[in-house]
């Protein structure tokens, strides 16, 4: 069975993905294009006993090869055997979208033009003469919205019919432009083989105009001279050809009747406030504060529920089922494998809610406004406005912040922002700050914690300037941003995005993380099952002298707690609890199926209730406020530099290698090289910064 290649092409944010969702029943795969982190969506469907491969090409405004998005789309259309182009356009902004349509006609590939957002066309009182537009462009025009389920079959039928069309698109030129192009085609026809068709002549003419080397060589091989060739295509230099297309657009817009002021009136009214030079920033910070509060407070009860279900309920029954196995194997299954899977699944509610909010921002049009608002200030550090969004998310959790960098438009800025995200102090580090601040900075704990956050931000900006001097991150590309009109997000589109993102996250995260958890468990269990005598403890005692210049290396316990923090930063607190207080794990409660089901149901109900009602910041660390552990930590150092040693340790935890979930996100999005660079950065920077802080201030105190 032959499989037809259907390429969905259009400007950014015109609804290509929504149409693929609709036509494939959301049964599509999500990945990355080779060598870059640009998302690749594709689906395979069977219609009328024929196979179709639907592929969503990156959004582009023209067939150029300047950005990665343009390069991928252009090369795919020119090099791959595409059977049909589905050109999706924003029907409310045809003057912007039809330039790409003119460029696509040059490829001489069968094409459909889908006018998306037709529901908004009616709302804005725009009238489009689709039949006249179709005759002018010489291709079928379908005025259907991706939200209108009634027309899905019509689009499917149109694709099945258009796939077999034999097309010949001549450039839409007038006057002298048309005559010059005709002369060029006449010249080329003299040298082309007799069996060449008219569309082959047009295709070669366009290639010659764009100075494609292969086409020029082909023509010379047919005994055309360089001088004649240059004289024939001289009237069509690249910039002149673009201006010719720009002159063609008004002739197409004659079939569109609208008052642009009506279309933009609502967006302009909202933008007056959200993009105001004085009010824009406070509104954005207030909005993001509420958003982050909803994301992290709203997901926290469900995170706790999953943690409770896996590490208490499921672990209890698993422990009973494997009680006949040797102790080491039991611990491997419970603390290595089960805890590893639980560490991944615990993040799912957070990721799902975050993806939901990001999808709402993207679909509504506000994400572009945020990028526009902060672009000028971020440009000083060789970042864009969209980088600010990712870095801000990092204060909640570094993992979704890494994934959020995929929304950036520039590949180099994506990688640069991903390197800076771990400098943002995530919520998992906060328990460590609370514990040490309570022990050493009573009455000044809040100020010291805020200073830690400030150090992270300052170092991120400094490292941005440092990295931007490296070839792999240096870019001079102009950040071009179109502000789309505000739209009411489609919940079906939003939920499909969330579904696909979470599915991909769980599928790919349960591999690397699981093995890392098993390895770290082994280091903390062997050789004799005691944490205090484990390989990690021995490692801490061995390397503690290396950290003595940083202040906290005088106690091996603080050094030995660092490797485990790669699992999660909160483990520092648990490790110190075991080391300093000799705490032992509590045995599992007796099994009672009825009571356990009731307890699980009650915990789930409580999580749902708390998720809705938790509008205030949750208590981040109950254990860290336990007097016995605070007193034990306070006893780590008792000399005059004790507070400085504690602060140096807090800074080191802030800047040290992030959790394995963050490392997995970096590896998945950007590959091994960036992961290694991130690890090296987080090895040297925290050491140097903590060394400077301790040595400098020890001379003053």
Provide the pLDDT for residue 654: 94
Secondary structure element (H or E) that encloses residue 32, with its range: strand 28-32
**Residue bearing tokens 């033009």:** 113
Could you tell me what percent of the chain has a pLDDT over 90? 20
Mean pLDDT of 222-226: 63
Q: What is the pLDDT of residues 201-215, one digit of tens each?
A: 887 777 777 767 777
Choose which CATH entry (3.20.20.70, 3.40.50.300, 1.20.120.80, 1.10.10.10) describes domain 3-162: 3.40.50.300
Strand ordering across the sheet containing 50-56: 28-32, 39-47, 50-56, 3-9, 84-90, 111-116, 141-142
Contacts of 116 (CB under 8 A, 6+ apart): 14, 15, 18, 19, 88, 89, 90, 91, 144, 145, 146
Backbone angles phi, psi at 141, to 5 degrees: -120, 125
* C-alpha atoms less than 13 angstroms from C-alpha of 225 in its C-beta half-sphere: 3
Q: What is the pLDDT of residues 279-335, one digit of tens each?
A: 888 888 888 778 777 877 788 788 889 888 987 888 889 988 898 888 888 888 887
Provide the pLDDT for residue 13: 80
CA distances (Å), origin 380, targets 174, 385, 461, 577: 46, 11, 10, 44
Provide the pLDDT for residue 225: 64
* Most confident stretch, 121-130, 231-240, 467-476, 496-505: 121-130
**What percentage of the chain's residues is helix, strand, coil (to nearest 5)?**
65, 5, 25
Provide the pLDDT for residue 240: 63
Q: What is the pLDDT of residues 542-555, one digit of tens each?
A: 999 999 999 999 99
Q: What is the pLDDT of residues 128-164, one digit of tens each?
A: 999 999 999 999 999 998 888 888 999 999 999 998 8
127 - beta bridge partners? 257
Secondary structure element (H or E) that encloses residue 207, with its range: helix 198-209
Which residue, among 178, 17, 164, has the nearest Cα to 88 in the 3D structure? 17
Quick check: 624 and 428 in contact, CB under 8 A? no
Provide the pLDDT for residue 586: 63
- Better-predicted residue by pLDDT, 175 or 586: 175
Mean pLDDT of 223-229: 63
Label each residue of 589-602 as H, E or C.
CCCCHHHHHHHHHH
Backbone angles phi, psi at 265, to 5 degrees: -60, -50
Provide the pLDDT for residue 559: 92
- Better-predicted residue by pLDDT, 159 or 188: 159
Provide the pLDDT for residue 263: 59
CA distances (Å), origin 448, targets 89, 416, 547, 591, 650: 53, 28, 22, 45, 10
Q: Cα separation of 113 and 98, whole Å?
A: 10
Contacts of 685 (CB under 8 A, 6+ apart): 459, 463, 655
As to burial, measured by CB atoms within 10 angstroms (0-12 exposed, 13-18 middle, 19+ buried), residue 62 is middle
Coil, strand or helix: which one is 56? strand
Q: Cα separation of 467 and 423, whole Å?
A: 14
- Structure confidence at residue 383 as a pLDDT band (50, 70, 90): confident
Structure tokens at 255: 């079939």
Can you give the length of the chain in residues?
701
Quick check: 660 and 516 in contact, CB under 8 A? yes
Quick check: 513 and 664 in contact, CB under 8 A? yes
Strand pairing report for 84-90 and 50-56: unpaired
Neighbours of 152 (CB within 10 A): 15
Q: pTM, whole model, 2 decimals?
A: 0.68
Mean pLDDT of 258-277: 74
Mean pLDDT of 4-9: 94
For the chain, give every domain's residue range. Answer: 3-162, 175-257, 286-587+627-700
Q: Cα separation of 199 and 289, whole Å?
A: 57
Question: Which DSSP letter does residue 318 get?
Answer: H
**Residue bearing tokens 């993001």:** 288
Which residue, among 439, 394, 421, has the nearest Cα to 630 in the 3D structure? 439
- Structure confidence at residue 463 as a pLDDT band (50, 70, 90): very high
- Helical residues (DSSP H) of 309-334, grouped into ranges: 315-321, 327-331
Q: What is the pLDDT of residues 622-651, one digit of tens each?
A: 334 456 778 888 999 999 999 999 999 999
Q: Cα separation of 537 and 525, whole Å?
A: 10
The DSSP code sequence of 400-456 is HHHHHGGG-S-HHHHHHHHHHGGGS--GGGHHHHHHHHHHH-TT-HHHHHHHHHHHH
Provide the pLDDT for residue 678: 93
Radius of gyration in angstroms for the set of CA atoms belonging to the chain, rounded to a whole number: 30
Q: Does residue 445 register a pLDDT over 60?
A: yes
Which residue, among 1, 9, 119, has the nearest Cα to 56 in the 3D structure? 9
Strand pairing report for 127-128 and 256-257: antiparallel
Q: Cα separation of 46 and 24, whole Å?
A: 9
- Structure confidence at residue 114 as a pLDDT band (50, 70, 90): very high
Could you tell me what percent of the chain has a pLDDT over 70? 86
Backbone angles phi, psi at 656, to 5 degrees: -70, 175
Sign of the C-alpha dihedral, residues 210, 212, 213, 215?
A: negative
Q: What is the pLDDT of residues 573-623, one digit of tens each?
A: 877 877 776 655 667 778 888 888 989 999 999 988 888 876 554 444 333
**Residue bearing tokens 């047919």:** 222
User: Among 160-169, 229-238, 262-271, 483-492, which stretch is predicted with the lowest mean pLDDT?
Assistant: 229-238
- Structure confidence at residue 515 as a pLDDT band (50, 70, 90): confident
Mean pLDDT of 482-503: 77
- Structure confidence at residue 24 as a pLDDT band (50, 70, 90): confident
- Please provide the distance, in angstroms rounded to a whole number, between the alpha carbons at the two ends of the chain: 79
Coil, strand or helix: which one is 618? coil
Which residue, among 139, 655, 72, has the nearest Cα to 411 in the 3D structure? 72
Coil, strand or helix: which one is 141? strand
Structure tokens at 417: 């922002």
Structure tokens at 341: 């899977």
Q: Cα separation of 507 and 500, whole Å?
A: 11
The mean pLDDT value of the chain amounts to 82
- Better-predicted residue by pLDDT, 410 or 696: 696
Rounded to a whole number, what is the largest CA-CA distance in the chain? 95
Q: Cα separation of 468 and 380, whole Å?
A: 11
């Amino acid at each position: 069975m032959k499989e037809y290649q259907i390429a969905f092409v259009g400007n950014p944010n015109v609804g290509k993905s929504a149409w693929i969702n609709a036509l494939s029943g959301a049964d599509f795969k999500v990945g990355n294009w080779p060598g870059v982190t640009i998302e690749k969506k594709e689906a395979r469907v069977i219609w009328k006993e024929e196979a179709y491969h639907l592929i969503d090409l990156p959004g582009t405004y023209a067939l150029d090869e300047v950005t990665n998005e343009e390069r991928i789309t252009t090369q795919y259309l020119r090099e791959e055997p595409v059977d049909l182009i589905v050109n999706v356009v924003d029907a409310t902004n045809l003057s912007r979208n039809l330039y790409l349509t003119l460029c696509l006609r040059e490829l001489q590939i069968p094409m459909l033009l889908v006018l998306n957002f037709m529901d908004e066309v009616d709302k804005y009182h725009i009238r489009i003469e689709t039949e006249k537009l179709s005759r002018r462009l010489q291709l079928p025009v379908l005025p259907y919205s991706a939200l209108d389920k009634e027309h899905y079959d019509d689009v499917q039928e149109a694709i099945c019919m258009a796939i077999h069309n034999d097309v010949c698109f001549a450039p839409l030129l007038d006057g002298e432009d048309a005559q010059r192009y005709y002369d060029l085609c006449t010249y080329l026809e003299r040298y082309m083989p007799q069996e060449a068709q008219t569309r082959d002549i047009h295709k070669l003419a366009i290639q010659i105009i764009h100075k494609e080397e292969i086409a020029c060589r082909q023509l010379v091989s047919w005994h055309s001279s360089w001088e004649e060739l240059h004289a024939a295509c001289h009237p069509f230099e690249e910039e002149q050809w673009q201006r010719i297309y720009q002159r063609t657009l008004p002739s197409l817009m004659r079939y569109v009747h609208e008052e642009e002021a009506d279309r933009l009136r609502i967006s302009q009214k909202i933008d007056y406030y959200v993009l105001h030079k004085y009010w824009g920033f406070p509104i954005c910070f207030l909005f993001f504060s509420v958003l982050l509060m909803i994301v992290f407070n709203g997901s926290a009860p469900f995170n706790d529920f999953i943690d409770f279900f896996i590490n208490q309920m499921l672990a209890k029954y698993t422990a009973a089922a494997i009680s006949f196995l040797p102790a080491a194997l039991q611990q491997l299954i419970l603390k290595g494998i089960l805890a590893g899977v639980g560490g991944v699944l615990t993040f799912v509610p957070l990721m799902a809610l975050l993806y939901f909010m990001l999808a709402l921002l993207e679909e509504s049009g506000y994400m572009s406004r945020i990028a526009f608002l902060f672009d000028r200030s971020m440009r000083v550090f060789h970042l864009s406005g969209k980088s600010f969004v990712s870095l801000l998310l990092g204060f909640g959790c570094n993992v979704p912040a890494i994934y959020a960098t995929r929304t950036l438009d520039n590949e180099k800025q994506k990688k640069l922002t991903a390197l800076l995200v771990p400098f943002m102090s995530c919520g998992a580090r906060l328990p460590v700050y609370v514990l040490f601040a309570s022990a050493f900075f009573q009455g000044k704990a809040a100020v010291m914690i805020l200073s830690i956050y400030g150090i992270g931000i300052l170092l991120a900006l400094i490292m941005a300037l440092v990295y931007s001097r490296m070839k792999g991150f240096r870019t001079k590309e102009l950040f071009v941003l179109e502000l789309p009109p505000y739209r009411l997000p489609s919940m079906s589109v939003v939920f499909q995005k969330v579904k696909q993102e979470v599915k991909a996250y769980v599928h790919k995260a349960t591999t690397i993380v699981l093995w890392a958890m098993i390895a770290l468990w082994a280091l903390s269990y062997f050789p004799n099952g005691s944490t205090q005598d484990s390989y990690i403890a021995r490692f801490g005692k061995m390397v503690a002298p290396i950290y003595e210049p940083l202040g906290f290396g005088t106690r091996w316990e603080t050094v030995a707690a660092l490797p485990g923090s790669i699992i999660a930063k909160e483990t520092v607190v648990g490790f110190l609890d075991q080391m300093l207080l000799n705490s032992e794990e509590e045995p599992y409660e007796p099994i009672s199926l009825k009571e356990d089901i009731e307890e699980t149901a009650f915990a789930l109900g409580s999580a749902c209730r708390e998720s809705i009602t938790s509008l205030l910041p949750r208590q981040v660390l109950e254990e860290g406020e336990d007097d016995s552990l605070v007193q034990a930590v306070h006893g780590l150092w008792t000399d005059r530099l004790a507070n400085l040693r504690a602060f140096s340790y807090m800074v080191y935890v802030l800047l040290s290698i992030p959790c394995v979930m963050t490392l997995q996100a970096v590896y998945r999005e950007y590959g091994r090289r960036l992961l290694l660079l991130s690890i090296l950065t987080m090895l040297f920077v925290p050491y140097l910064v903590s060394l400077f802080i301790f040595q400098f201030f020890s001379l003053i105190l």
